[in-house]
Structure 1
Amino acid sequence: MAGLVRKSLDSPEEVRPFEDGKGKLELVDAGAGAVGRATFEPGWRWTQHIKPIAGTDSCQASHACYVISGRMHIAMDDGQEDDFGPGDYMICPPGHDAWVIGDEPCVLVDWQGFADYAKR
């Protein structure tokens, strides 16, 4: 078992900007995998701002997230949809689109799906 680990998302080891300046992903390596904080700006949508980077029809990452601020709508390929906001914990399997709701950035922390997210 590893010893005590301290990382700060305020001093990320890697920053990945999204298309058109619609947000960014800040990553740290926690030893057991990447942990990321993403800021999605109003008007951000996966199919517009990440799909060109990912090259897939829908997001194929699996996410385990906590929403800090703002709101996001998730639309699964199978038709299931839901909105998430501050204080919500979300499990989101592969096969989805997502977009920011409203005029406030959506900020979330993901412990599972950001290792290769928006990676060029």
Structure 2
Amino acid sequence: MAHIQVKNFDKPDETRSFEGKGHADIVMMADRAVGRGVFEPGWRWSNNVKPIAGTDLCQVSHLGYCVSGHMRVYMADGTEQEVNPGDAVAIPPGHDAEVVGDETCVLLDFGEISEYAKRS
């Protein structure tokens, strides 16, 4: 029989710290990772997660919702897009990103984030 799962990001199953300026809280739901990324002002993937990932660009696919703050995403093909509060976003692999402004950006991520910012 299926059961309802309820978890709270205030008590995540795991917290993954970035190289400064934020972290990702992970809860496991129905055998899938769901994340809450907390990206502090000045955060940039290439500075704060690249040392963990060991790749030139983020190779994770994100499917998310922006709760607060602003983030600009830079794709390998040169296109870029800003993500703002209330936006739903699908970001394919092969990108960099940075927080825009002086407000912490909080993104919920339902994508393929099981290995995102995970130290080996």
The TM-score by the shorter chain falls in which range? over 0.9
In structure 2, the partner of 1:17 is 17
Secondary structure, counterpart of 1:53 in structure 2: helix
In structure 2, the partner of 1:116 is 115
Two-structure CA RMSD over aligned residues (Å): 1.0
- What amino acid does structure 1 have at the position aligned with 2:16? R
CA distance in 2, matches of 1:88, 1:37: 15
In structure 2, the partner of 1:3 is 3
Counterpart mapping for 1:38-53 below 5 A: 38-53=37-52
* Offset of residue 79 of structure 1: 1.3
CA distance in 1, matches of 2:80, 2:31: 30
CA distance in 2, matches of 1:57, 1:2: 41
* Offset of residue 114 of structure 1: 2.0
TM-score normalised by length of structure 2: 0.96
Counterpart mapping for 1:1-120 below 5 A: 2-20=2-20, 22-120=21-119
C-alpha deviations, 1:37-87, integer Å up to 9, x for none? 010000000000000000000000000010000000000001111001100
CA distance in 1, matches of 2:23, 2:6: 22
CA distance in 2, matches of 1:45, 1:96: 11
User: What is the aligned-residue identity percentage?
Assistant: 53
Identify unmatched segments of 5+ residues in structure 2: none
CA distance in 1, matches of 2:94, 2:100: 20
- What amino acid does structure 2 have at the position aligned with 1:29? M
TM-score normalised by length of structure 1: 0.96
CA distance in 2, matches of 1:108, 1:11: 17
Identify unmatched segments of 5+ residues in structure 1: none
How many residues get paired? Answer: 119
Runs of at least 4 residues off by over 3 Å: none
